Amino acid sequence: MQISALASGSSGNCFYVSNKNTAILIDVGISTKQVLERLKAINQNPLKIKAIFITHEHSDHIRGSDVLARKFSIPIFATKATAQKGFLCSNKDLVNCINKDSTIKIEKLKVEAFSKTHSAADPVSYNIYENKKVFIRA
Q: What is the tens place of the pLDDT at every residue in 83-125? A: 999 999 999 999 999 998 999 999 999 999 998 777 778 899 9
pLDDT in tens, 32-86: 999 999 999 999 999 999 999 999 899 999 999 999 999 999 999 999 999 999 9
Apex 64 CA angle, 97 and 86, nearest 5: 45
Start-to-end CA span in the chain (Å): 18
- Whichever domain contains 66, its CATH number is 3.60.15.10
Report whether pLDDT(131) > 80.
yes
Domain count, the chain: 1
Query: In 3D, which of 53, 49, 50, 29 has the Cα closest to residue 102?
Result: 53
pTM of the predicted structure, to 2 decimals: 0.94
Q: List the domain range (segments joined by +) for residue 125.
A: 2-136
